[in-house]
Chains A and B, each alone.
Chain A
Amino acid sequence: MWYLIYHYLQPISDWLVDSVIGMQKGDHLTEAIRFFIFEVPKVLMLLALIIFIVGIIRTYFSADRTRKMLEGKSTFAGNVLASMLGIVTPFCSCSAIPLFLGFVESGVPLGVTFSFLIAAPMINEVAVILLFGLFGWKTALIYVLTGLLIAITAGWIIGKLKLEHWVQDWVYQTQMGNTGDEGNGLTFSDRIHFGFDSVKEIVGKVWIYVVVGIAVGAGAHGYVPEDFMVSLMGKSVWFSVPLSVLIGVPLYSNAAGIIPIVSVLIEKGAALGTSLAFMMAVVGLSLPEMIILKKVLKLPLILTFVGVVATGIMIVGYLFNLIF
């Protein structure tokens, strides 16, 4: 059922635009509407499917289990594992603090904890699906791989710098209660139920961003001149990468709103590396999260964290401008 609708979405939306509304082919407005009518259901359907699957996968992981897997893991292997677990462990920025405390308490090294904290928000299913839907699987894959790379190396560097003294003092004094491993008793129908719940929750929250983002995209698609962004975010503009990161960090939008807009930026001549850097900065580094983390980290450590991650993002940006 899902597959059938998805498969015939293009002819259906063409038919709607050309026959039902009866608009002039090739017209700016027609093409903008065609783009909108096709992309909105496509992206929403992809979102629903993947969030459902990810929701089920997440029931097999929990913060407790992830912590147990990371205990005693040192440096590099720990950073790699933590970054990958960051993708599948259920995470919301409001539990960043208890999670951080729990990890550090049980002896997960600081750098490994950071790898997790970088990967978890940056590589999220919404960003990956939107990239897949609007740019194709190659870009989505590049995003995931470079995101992982940044999380691994940034965490590793932070670990090497030995910055434990910049963690707020009370963190190491906190007494952590005994944690039981909850979530083993779930039946498969519980997990499916959980999958549906996460679809309802996430799609319910982001659909409006998707619609608005694609509407802005559709408008620009038809009307903004092709090379509009070349002089601003094109390859030849060397400062565009750091500038995108600088603008991206304080901007706090979820991936659902930002990616459709980025897709138009690229269409209008922005370089892929620059756009990728912008997206990663918006999604991965956010001001509200920094403010939350201020409770457990002293300012120099937060600045180091932002600095290391931002540098990583910029390197990725330049690298992709160079390759493509």
Chain B
Amino acid sequence: MEIKILGSGCSKCKTLEKLTREVVDQNGIDASISKVEDIMEIMKYGVMATPALVVDGKVIIKGRIPSSEEIKEALTK
């Protein structure tokens, strides 16, 4: 699974990245996590409010920091 964190480098984006990595590690999910900081790239996903979480090309969450349960649910279903 391919996970992308969209965000231009604000503190919320870092929090989301950290949370996502924790969830992936704790649940042994096989995934590659990368961060997208380029605004042009971010816009391609149609995201106007960062941070956003993209899983396999689909925007799951945007504009807020979800709870780890919510991330887990999004990654395991």
Contact = CB atoms under 8 A, between A and B. Distances in A.
Interface residues of B, number: 24
Given A92-B10, A182-B59, A182-B62, A98 B67 contact: no
A175 interface: yes
A197 B19 CA distance: 15
Given A98-B39, A175-B44, A90 B49 contact: yes
Interface in B27-77: 39-40, 42-50, 59, 61-65, 67
A198 to B, nearest CB: 9
In this complex, the member of A98, A178, A180 whose beta carbon has the largest number of chain B beta carbons within 10 angstroms is A98
Contact of B39 (A67, A91, A97): A97
A19 to B, nearest CB: 43
Contacts of B67: 193
Contact of B49 (A63, A174, A175, A180): A63
B9 to A, nearest CB: 8
A244 B68 CA distance: 45
Nearest to A174: B43
B47 to A, nearest CB: 6
A74 to B, nearest CB: 21
**Chain A contact patch, size range:** 20 to 34
A295 interface: yes
B12 interface: yes
A67 B43 CA distance: 14
A90 B12 CA distance: 13
A98 B45 CA distance: 11
A177 interface: yes
Contacts of A98: 8, 39, 42-43, 47-50
B32 to A, nearest CB: 21
Interface of B: 7-10, 12-13, 39-40, 42-50, 59, 61-65, 67
Interface of A: 62-64, 67, 90-92, 94-95, 97-99, 101-103, 105, 170, 174-180, 182, 193-194, 197, 295
Given A62-B63, A102-B48, A170-B40, 10 more contacts: A62-B49, A63-B49, A67-B48, A91-B49, A94-B10, A94-B50, A101-B39, A103-B48, A180-B59, A182-B62
